[in-house]
A = this chain, B = another copy of it.
Amino acid sequence: MSFNTFGRVFRFTTWGESHGPALGAVIDGCPPGLSLSEADIQPFLDKRRPGTSRFTTQRQEPDQVRILSGVFEGRTTGTPISLMIENVDQRSKDYSNVALAYRPGHADYAYDAKYGFRDYRGGGRSSARETAARVAAGAVARLVIPEVKIRAWVEAIGGDAIDPANFDPDQIDANPFFCPDAAAAARWEMRVDGARKAGSSLGAVIACEASGVPAGWGAPLYAKLDAELAAACMSINAVKGIEIGDGFDAAKLRGEENADAMRPGQNGPEFLANHAGGIAGGIATGQPIRLRVAFKPTSSILTPVETIDRNGEATEIATKGRHDPCVGIRGAPVVEAMVALVLADQKLLHRAQCG
């Protein structure tokens, strides 16, 4: 695999900088004959879009996607699908002070250490805008796995978690936080507003469930479904942790508490628990796949932070410009997209080896 390509059979490569003219993705290995148009992709981009509420970054981007290849008469041809999203609202001048100084927690210093220089505008390629390309690619991936339903939501912001007893899936798209708990959503509105006004930022935990995955997808060990999901989610900007099923809580259980016992069922076994989160030995068991992803708080804050500049001299930096007080909120559609991309690839891989 290359530096910027993900997947084995259903593969995608993204390109584009935050402040370049456009972003895009090239999707490779898509089965032919699937109905595809911009209308299949745009809704997912709209869900992710910045500037839709005061709780996310104030950059206004229409994020209109164009399909440039791989589709003929409304169906995928099996050849590469090129998607492009043009950047409109770059405001490069907001970043003028970061050209010389390194923002702590950002990749600035690391990029310079690796490449010798970097496109500093808006975080260049490390910007969260790159996720627009992933979300677009994820929309295409969903067409490959119509049998699967993928849904992500925000489980906690700044340590304040939802109450599982209040879980209502219909709430997820009813508030700006992808929050399934209306009471939590109300609390979060005040928290995030407060963080934004204070020039601070908050972390978040995203939960995601994929149901309808047939038992058998995933290959043992190095293409383990859980390893692939881990890599996919960990590759999202600001992610610092991932759990499958009970995750770190499983480490506290005893064997008999953690077992997912089975009974005979109508279509395959009926499981009595799902501590494993739908994956055993790297292969899907047929149970819903459950995972949780930890997003650290945005490193772009208005509070000055001690840092150094390109000459190694001490300085301070406070990032101006428009920023997310909580990047995790918009992480939910991105996590969904990555899960879709991994599952599409795994479906084709399984088909390759096992028919």
Contacts and interface: CB of A to CB of B under 8 A. Distances in A.
Contact of A221 (B4, B9, B32, B106): B4
B222 A269 contact: no
Interface in A224-273: 224, 226-228, 230-232, 234-235, 237, 239-248, 250-264, 268-269, 272
A251 B157 CA distance: 7
A221 B204 CA distance: 20
Given A234-B224, A314-B263, A251 B295 contact: yes
Interface stretch (A57-65, A175-183, A346-354): A346-354
B234 A230 contact: yes
Nearest to A232: B227
A243 B242 CA distance: 7
Interface string A202-230: 11110000000011111111111011101
Interface core residue of A231, A251, A282, A298 (most chain B CB under 10 Å): A251
Given A215-B109, A240-B250, A261 B227 contact: no
B328 A115 contact: no
Contact of A109 (B28, B228, B262, B305): B262
Contacts of A254: 158, 195, 200-202, 297
A246 B256 contact: no
A286 B113 CA distance: 9
A120 to B, nearest CB: 8
Contacts of A95: none
Q: How many copies does the complex hold?
A: 4
Interface string A300-311: 110101111000
A348 B257 CA distance: 41
B109 A269 contact: yes
Contacts of A216: 110, 113-114
A299 interface: yes
A286 B84 CA distance: 35
Nearest to A195: B254
Contact of A110 (B104, B264, B285): B285
Contacts of A116: 32-33, 354
Interface string A105-129: 1110111011111110000111000
A150 interface: no
A303 B254 CA distance: 11
A312 interface: yes
A231 B221 contact: no
Contacts of A26: 4, 13, 15, 24, 26
Contacts of A230: 227, 230-231, 234, 242
The list of the 9 closest CB pairs from A to B, nearest first, reads A107-B281, A201-B255, A352-B352, A113-B215, A159-B252, A241-B247, A203-B251, A110-B283, A231-B231
